Amino acid sequence: MTFAVIKTGGKQYKVAANDVLKIEKLDAEAGTIVTFDQVLMVDGEVGAPLIEGALVAAELLETRKQKTVIIFKKNRRHNYRRRNGHRQLLSTVRITEILTGGAKPTIKAVGVVAKTESVTEAKPAKKAAAPKAAPKADKAEAATETKAPAAKKVAAKPAADFTDDIKLIGGVGPALEKKLHAAGVTSLVQIAAWKKADIAKFDEELDLRGRAERDEWVAQAKDLVAGKPPRAKVDQDAAAEDKTK
């Protein structure tokens, strides 16, 4: 027999021996022989509607879910959107025989043996690959250990007799002091450690309008922490000397 037309799952399929096709889910286990008795045509013979005594045998290879199909519905100007997914269960079969005259299947399933062998060979490979991840963790720990001491050198030691008052910075009055305290900035040491990103952050949060960078708050804070006098006092002393001259 060269070909036959069978009906299963509400659909018709033209099949021949050794053909592999996906059909609607069958209630059978993988590796068993299934039969289709709804045979509509065998070679040139057409049934009315079925051919009596005709049978198509196939080996059930597997039953699995297919790729997800997205169903999206939308109604314009009604704020209606619905998104769903569907995975259809299909069975994969291999046609083994096309029989007529009431004959029964004679070929047994052979595909399951090769499938189980491939599964058993794949398991040891996964277990052996797991220990290789350990050296990477050691390298990461070593890198963090080498980088840790470098971070401690950033902060400079403040002078023992400096006054930690952020109002000593030129341009910072009581109003700005309240804003800085509300943002968590309460010390000259904090301002001295600011980077460009910190200056931009507080400039945006507190609406400083570039005052911190324009008045060199970081440089002033570093000088005050180092024990130098405030710039305002230095400017006053310089103005007094100019008057005396």
Q: Residue 236's pLDDT is what?
A: 61
Same domain, 97 and 188: no
Residue 42 near residue 14, CB atoms below 8 Å: no
| pLDDT range class, residue 111, cuts 50, 70, 90 | low
Q: Is 0.85 topped by the overall pTM?
A: no
Residues 174 and 95 occupy one common structural domain = no
The better pLDDT of the pair 145, 172 is held by 172
Question: CA 90 → CA 38, 60, 68, 115, distances in Å?
Answer: 19, 11, 13, 18
> What domain range includes position 47?
4-103
Residue 9 is assigned to a structural domain of this protein: yes
What pLDDT shows up at residue 132? 56
The residue written with tokens 């059909």 in the block is 23
User: Could you tell me if 170 and 97 lie in one domain?
Assistant: no
Q: What is the pLDDT of residue 209?
A: 81
Domain boundary among 86, 103, 120: 103
Give the end of a domain, one of 103, 129, 153.
Answer: 103
pLDDT confidence band for 212 (50 / 70 / 90): confident
SS3 4: strand
pLDDT average, residue stretch 52-79: 95
- How many domains does the structure of the chain reveal? 2
Instruction: For residue 217, tell me if it sits in a domain.
Output: yes
pLDDT of 118 strictly over 50: no
In a domain, 229, yes or no: yes
Residue 36 lies in a domain: yes
Confidence tier at 152 by pLDDT (50, 70, 90): very low
Residue 110 falls inside a structural domain: no
